[in-house]
Structure 1
Amino acid sequence: MTKSFPVLLASLLAVSSVSAPLQVLAQEAQPLDRIAAVVDEDVILQSELQRAIANIKAQYAGREAQLPPDDVLSRQVLERLVLVKLQVARAQGSGIRVSDQELAQAMNAIAQQNGSTLDALRQRLASDGIDFNDFRASVRDEITVQRLRQSFAQSRISVSEGEVDAALKQQADAGNQFHLAHILVALPDGASAEQIATGQKKADGVKALLDKGELDFNAAAVRYSDSPNALEGGDLGWRTLDEIPAAFAQTMQQMKPGEVVGPIRGPSGFQLLKLVEVRDASAAAGTHTVTEYHGRHILVRVDDAQSDAAAKAKIDTLRARIAGGADFQQVAKESSEDTNSKGQGGDLGWFPADAFGPAFGQQVAGIQDGGVSQPFRTDAGWHIVQRVGTRQTDVGSDNQRAQVRETIGRRKLEDEYNRFLQELRGEAYVSFRSGDRAENTATPPQS
């Protein structure tokens, strides 16, 4: 897909992603007359909600235990769909439009990413019980939301050269950077004593489950966090000390990777914070080079036509052939299901470690030049990767400044846009029709 049409966002749950087979999205997606929610002058149908839930479950295939109970997941997904409706309405009210030509280009890109033509995609959607016009409307909504976010960033987010200079100096002076994840138990503005006590009890209960080892942190975030990034496991990315709340900063320096602190009361509610890993910030700031890898891979997809178990068995067989002396490139040409690299013997060229996601990066970094990884799973399916070579590439000071500027802007946008969404949601008329809705999405058992 071209950069102009980032139409497969995780935030728009009603639209198919590359990793979510279209057939999965059709499960329980037959049109229903029931209304799940009224959002100002618009509605969310029960069928829309079921498609969105199916999409989330497809993304968590093989990790279903990390998802909350169905009733909690349904409320979380419905709330996200409400936000999509509100954003589309605000965008349209601001004059943001997606032309038919732009939509057609996006639809063609989606078809290509699913390995088919637009006509074939239309037929596949029909066979899976998905109305093509509804699908097009969902894609148009997604592009519209992305345009609204871009417009918001252009009008409200700016990064000065002074901020970039300060960040570069801070990187050079700072001892470490911290990769964090969090769980938020939100409290409303002006929370009553009873609401505070309930929030404290829920946060304590989540911490108790983590301490007992009954849930890992990512799964607990998906189940219990009220943060917008809950379904992403609460990941906050890399932060320097001054980007960490003061209540956590001093403690963070004494922690070891994997430890969790909290709950601590903050402006938004009670937070649990996990230290995922630590890196030397000064070393990162002092170098203008990055490590790049030359690699080849073989992919066996997991989709509606091939189960996870069947794909795993196939990749194990291919790995055994290569271990027995078969040529990696020849096996890739014969058996890889990545159409982009298959014809080149699985060759991916030169790439930084994070180019294809963290799982891929960990595997290629963990083997020697000439080595072949063990099979590993990503959203696309099962892979094996061969590392051909490594090199150090000079990214230059200009590129470093651009990366820092982008990082600052992204964090500003994240904070400001989340506040904008809260305001949008608070001003809207929303009536849920799919059952009773509690303020807290789930309450864990108490220790």
Structure 2
Amino acid sequence: MQAVNRSRFIRRAFISIGSLAALAGGLAAPATLAQQAPQGEIVIPDDVKIFGNDNPNIRRATAVVNGAVITGTDVDQRLALIVAANQSKIGDDEMKRLRLQVLRNLIDETLQIQEAKASDVEVSQAEVDQSYARVAAQNFNQNTEAMDAYLKRVGSSPDSLKRQIRGELSWQRLLQRNVAPFINISDDEVNEMLARLKAAKGTDEYRLGEIYLSATPDARQQVHDNASQIVQQLRQGGSFVAYARQYSQASTAAVGGDLGWIRLAQLPSELATVAREMQTGQLVGPIEVPGGFDILYLIDKRQVLTADPRDAVLALKQISISFPKGTTEAQAGERAEAFATTIKTAKGCGDVDKVAAGIGAQVVANDQVKARDLPPQIQNSILQLSPGETLAPFGSLEDGVRILMLCGRDDPQADSGPSFEQLQAQMEDDRVNKRAQMYLRDLRRDAVIEYN
């Protein structure tokens, strides 16, 4: 099990604008209830009567956060990044919900930047530009001008992305100075966790993606409908990572919702029950959990401290033929069958090139193919082969027919799990992330926010 530097189901604590307005408006609870409640506890009677507009989401997408203005243009440009990352069309209702979430994210981002500045935590423009250049290197072959043009073309801007980078760097640096030094994980805690890992050897662990939406009781149906819309968009081809980054109210939003490798015992019972039945690549949700709803995506699955056959490195040869234009399905089937029969006469990988040349087939070799990188439908089949054996032919009229021959296989070594130092670092990071959520919650509570 690899160490994963991210938190486990740490929730962002949100209070709806409508709830705050009701509290500020003097809607006091009955005296008997107030007397029974501990000091400071919020008491809401069962027979709530709403005075005025009870929809907290009807407001314009601009705000002033402790004097800093978030404009409609800021929201539009950040929203454009999400729309560009999404492969499918976004409906009007979905766009409205997305705008509201973008505004909330911008408010949090503003609070984080303000707190860093107030604490004399500096992020230079050069550091922001360097991170921006790294993004360009990953996506535009080190061409920042090409990324500038792309952002403008989709309706965003370089400044919008650079502001997001500044927010992430500011918050990370602030936590490193104000939170991390005060986190202490004892040797006993680490050793206890190592013992648990060894005891769990051979049990299943899951790599999950999550999108978490918090919901107050009065907003439960609205949030459920919102989550259902997200699921629908994802099933139509939307980017899970993009939706998680902008919609999810869990701290894993920063890493596209990726929870890393976890065991079911680490999940809330409602999610563990669902995850146990999921297949790799499956999306499930919305799932009601305490405080809101979850959407789960199973990225992968393996066994704790056990070698995964899919990590085997294979040496393969791909033999292929193409079909002349105008070939019918029946003709293609006959030729594919004859092709497979001929390739089976080859005496292993050393002979297949000669046999392929005799029928005009092309051969491509690769000795560094990980089994897990192959399409799921052929992974198990190819792992059952011995050197010199082939898979059944596959292909199409357009692409021709291909046959894979296994030439060799290096099996993976059993995973010994994280070292003491790796596990200690992971536990420290998890605890820092929990404190970070409390920190951000306090910033929200004390913020002066005006909506326009």
Q: TM-score by structure 1 length? A: 0.53
Residues 56-135 of structure 1 aligned to structure 2 (within 5 Å):
56-61=82-87, 63-64=88-89, 69-113=94-138, 114-117=140-143
Which residue in 2 is equivalent to 1:176? 204
Residues 409-428 of structure 1 aligned to structure 2 (within 5 Å):
409-428=428-447
Question: For each residue in 1:156-201, what CA deviation from the matched residue of structure 2 results, as whole angstroms up to 9, or x when unmatched?
Answer: 54433333322222222234334556665534xxxxxxx52552x4
Structure 1: which amino acid aligns with 2:71?
Answer: L
Give the total of aligned pairs.
327
Please say if 1:240 is aligned against 2:263: yes
Per-residue deviation at 1:48?
Answer: 1.5
The SS at the match of 1:285 is coil
Q: TM-score by structure 2 length? A: 0.52
Which residue in 2 is equivalent to 1:285? 305
Structure 2: which amino acid aligns with 1:186?
Answer: S
1:120/1:292 Cα in 2 relative to 1: closer, same or farther (>3 Å)? same
Per-residue deviation at 1:426?
Answer: 2.0
Question: For each residue in 1:257-278, what CA deviation from the matched residue of structure 2 results, as whole angstroms up to 9, or x when unmatched?
Answer: 5696996563xx1445758489
Please say if 1:162 is aligned against 2:193: no
Quick one: which of 135, 148, 156 aligns to 2:174? 148
Using the alignment, how far apart are the partners of 2:289 and 2:150 within structure 1? 50
Structure 2: which amino acid aligns with 1:99?
Answer: S
Structure 2: which amino acid aligns with 1:87?
Answer: Q
1:98/1:208 Cα in 2 relative to 1: closer, same or farther (>3 Å)? closer
Which residue in 2 is equivalent to 1:196? 217
Per-residue deviation at 1:427?
Answer: 1.7
Question: In 1, are the aligned partners of 2:284 and 2:295 still within 8 Å (CA)?
Answer: yes
Using the alignment, how far apart are the partners of 2:275 and 2:176 within structure 1? 36
Question: In 2, are the aligned partners of 1:290 and 1:394 still within 8 Å (CA)?
Answer: no
Using the alignment, how far apart are the partners of 1:66 and 1:133 within structure 2? 27
Question: In 2, are the aligned partners of 1:181 and 1:236 still within 8 Å (CA)?
Answer: yes
Per-residue deviation at 1:93?
Answer: 1.4
Q: Which moved more, 1:406-415 or 1:125-134?
A: 125-134
Question: In 1, are the aligned partners of 2:286 and 2:294 still within 8 Å (CA)?
Answer: yes
1:81/1:104 Cα in 2 relative to 1: closer, same or farther (>3 Å)? closer
Using the alignment, how far apart are the partners of 1:388 and 1:36 within structure 2? 61
The SS at the match of 2:181 is helix
Please say if 1:227 is aligned against 2:249: yes
Per-residue deviation at 1:47?
Answer: 1.5
Question: In 1, are the aligned partners of 2:78 and 2:156 still within 8 Å (CA)?
Answer: no
Q: Which runs of 5+ in 2 are unaligned?
A: 1-59, 317-359, 384-389, 397-403
1:432/1:91 Cα in 2 relative to 1: closer, same or farther (>3 Å)? same
Per-residue deviation at 1:326?
Answer: 5.2
Residues 310-389 of structure 1 aligned to structure 2 (within 5 Å):
325=361, 368=382
The SS at the match of 2:185 is coil
Using the alignment, how far apart are the partners of 1:142 and 1:37 within structure 2? 20
Quick one: which of 73, 91, 97 aligns to 1:47? 73
Per-residue deviation at 1:411?
Answer: 3.4
Using the alignment, how far apart are the partners of 2:137 and 2:98 within structure 1? 31
The SS at the match of 1:98 is coil
1:206/1:238 Cα in 2 relative to 1: closer, same or farther (>3 Å)? farther
Q: Which runs of 5+ in 1 are unaligned?
A: 1-33, 188-194, 297-323, 330-346, 354-358, 376-384, 434-447
Which residue in 2 is equivalent to 1:380? none
Using the alignment, how far apart are the partners of 1:166 and 1:272 within structure 2? 30
Structure 1: which amino acid aligns with 2:131?
Answer: A
Please say if 1:432 is aligned against 2:451: yes
Question: For each residue in 1:17-63, what CA deviation from the matched residue of structure 2 results, as whole angstroms up to 9, or x when unmatched?
Answer: xxxxxxxxxxxxxxxxx9821111211122221111110112222x4
Per-residue deviation at 1:109?
Answer: 3.4
Question: In 2, are the aligned partners of 1:108 and 1:118 still within 8 Å (CA)?
Answer: yes
Using the alignment, how far apart are the partners of 1:363 and 1:386 within structure 2? 16
1:54/1:287 Cα in 2 relative to 1: closer, same or farther (>3 Å)? same
Using the alignment, how far apart are the partners of 1:161 and 1:225 within structure 2? 37
Using the alignment, how far apart are the partners of 1:243 and 1:262 within structure 2? 19
The SS at the match of 1:163 is helix
Using the alignment, how far apart are the partners of 1:67 and 1:203 within structure 2? 17
Question: In 1, are the aligned partners of 2:211 and 2:295 still within 8 Å (CA)?
Answer: yes
Question: Which of 1 and 2 has higher RCO (CA within 8 Å, sep 6+)?
Answer: 2
Task: Report the identity percentage.
Answer: 20
Using the alignment, how far apart are the partners of 2:212 and 2:104 within structure 1? 16
Which residue in 1 is equivalent to 2:18? none
The SS at the match of 1:404 is helix
Question: For each residue in 1:193-228, what CA deviation from the matched residue of structure 2 results, as whole angstroms up to 9, or x when unmatched?
Answer: xx52552x45776899999x9986998995997633
Between structure 1 and structure 2, the one with the greater Rg is 2
Structure 2: which amino acid aligns with 1:428?
Answer: A
Question: In 2, are the aligned partners of 1:206 and 1:220 still within 8 Å (CA)?
Answer: no
Using the alignment, how far apart are the partners of 2:79 and 2:123 within structure 1? 26
Question: In 2, are the aligned partners of 1:367 and 1:387 still within 8 Å (CA)?
Answer: no
Which residue in 1 is equivalent to 2:214? 186
